Structure 1
């Protein structure tokens, strides 16, 4: 089941960035549910940059694969697969409630969205990186979903925050940009305070249908 979905997802993602993808404008009106197995882009609300990673390591801190905000919509390195934690009984297609701990797996590299207390390169906040791989994941990959407003179950049109379990830092970005490791891309980091720059929206993606009865 997992393999067949991944094969279909790869096929669809070839055309996602050429008008096939569900976008914030068209899917928001339908309130598409974000379920386990969905492959999504996360858009920083304030700057509209997408959460992004590629095989470029940080030159400081952990030296792990860098995570940035990417200005262009059409880039497959901005796709993330929504996964449960290893000890969860959740399955593909299950809906996700506010307060749930999730993981985000980078589709291209198969590494996990990760954070720790290393200083981020530009602002000196908590570094956010990509780490591990299939079968290699730890609590540094755990993020608690916080839905803004009254919604209880994650849908595409909802504003969200992701709070890192180990550090309590919110996934954060701002308009401070790199000039070397990722020219024109902006820093993504973790910060301890709840701020407007912590807000993200689900943008383009392939949405795994909600399991029956969910």
Structure 2
């Protein structure tokens, strides 16, 4: 019989990230070029999930297949960088010292210390339950290591629910970023030392991590359903897959040598009306697919996405992308990874039909030439920086 049961309105499928914690971190590059790496950014993902959840902001709905074959945003993507920053924040808390001290202590009590089992059940578990009772999820440090050499095997998750039974069984519900999209439970019986996770791991114990909120970047107020079909007549925002920035235009002309002096098109790291584009196709409402030809009209200024052979971009000197009043020459062909319908969650390339070049972006900006925003260009061939995906759809 249950004695107590509480759950915060946190749903891993909605408030967690849709890709796993499969990051590889380069800790050191040796003179030979060989790299020493560590795995995972669990603390950064746990902190970031709360950064979005607590103020009621939607997390980016990017899925692992956007980043094939690595399954996670590359280090050039702002979200990957945010996870790294928040991971360091998690290590700089006073509570993070328990990853070291608990890894060196036994499960059982000694003549001085309670040990990991009693610390967890007598001190940390009541803190978890009290916070959840007040409607606030917490970051947990999960401990499995028994030596400093294995300290990297410890883990960080978000706890958002618990159950306590009459027989002494306790179940804690967590968002585990190693298992995206579904709840994971930690269960311990009254006479059990360890905590058994429903995704197959066994943990010695856990503690509540200190957490200070941080305002995350918000690029979409209403993220598109990845399975939604994209149609002519839709208004959308497009996100550059490799850096996570949004296709944007503003009423400032290019001024660099050789430019066409038309309206700038850039990659923008914020959310505003200058990110919205209308898809004009042959018939409004008709579903778009691999091979469809469209035009993109900037909603706020009414100008059309444009490129022209022989006009250099401001920084890389690739083919410039701008916005123009005359739409007669500027059509773009939809190129998906596989023939089929264009869905919001698809990776898509946009091919400028008159020049045969691909809409492209990369890290690079100038305070004057691109208003401090990321350069957008077209290039003759396909590369990873030519992938885009739909961020919002209306």
Tell me what 1:124 maps to: 317
Of the structure 1 ranges 179-188 and 93-102, higher mean CA displacement relative to structure 2 is found in: 179-188
d(CA) in 1 for partners of 2:376 and 2:276? 15
Tell me what 1:81 maps to: 278
Q: Is the 8 A contact 2:344 2:393 kept in 1?
A: no
Q: Is the 8 A contact 1:36 1:94 kept in 2?
A: yes
Tell me what 1:7 maps to: none
Q: CA deviation at 1:183?
A: 3.6
- Structure 1 residues 10-53: Cα deviation after superposition (integer angstroms, max 9, x where no partner): xxxxxxxx9995315xx11xx10111111000000000000000
d(CA) in 1 for partners of 2:286 and 2:389? 19
Find the partner of 2:222 among 10, 19, 22. Answer: 22
Divergent runs of 4+, >6 A? none
Q: Secondary structure at the match of 1:202?
A: strand
Q: Is the 8 A contact 1:83 1:104 kept in 2?
A: yes
Q: CA deviation at 1:156?
A: 0.2
d(CA) in 1 for partners of 2:246 and 2:366? 15
d(CA) in 2 for partners of 1:119 and 1:44? 21
TM-score normalised by the chain length of structure 1: 0.77
d(CA) in 2 for partners of 1:19 and 1:147? 23
Tell me what 2:375 maps to: 187
Q: CA deviation at 1:58?
A: 0.3
Higher RCO (CA 8 Å, separation ≥ 6 residues): 1
Change in 2 beyond 3 A, CA 1:177/1:97: same
Change in 2 beyond 3 A, CA 1:19/1:189: closer
- Structure 1 residues 107-137: Cα deviation after superposition (integer angstroms, max 9, x where no partner): 00111000002000100100000001xxx42
Tell me what 1:44 maps to: 240
TM-score normalised by the chain length of structure 2: 0.43
The gaps in structure 1 that reach 5 residues or longer are 1-17, 85-89, 207-214
Tell me what 1:159 maps to: 347
The gaps in structure 2 that reach 5 residues or longer are 1-217
Tell me what 2:91 maps to: none
Q: CA deviation at 1:158?
A: 0.4
d(CA) in 2 for partners of 1:53 and 1:131? 11
- Structure 1 residues 126-153: Cα deviation after superposition (integer angstroms, max 9, x where no partner): 0000001xxx4212x11111011x3511
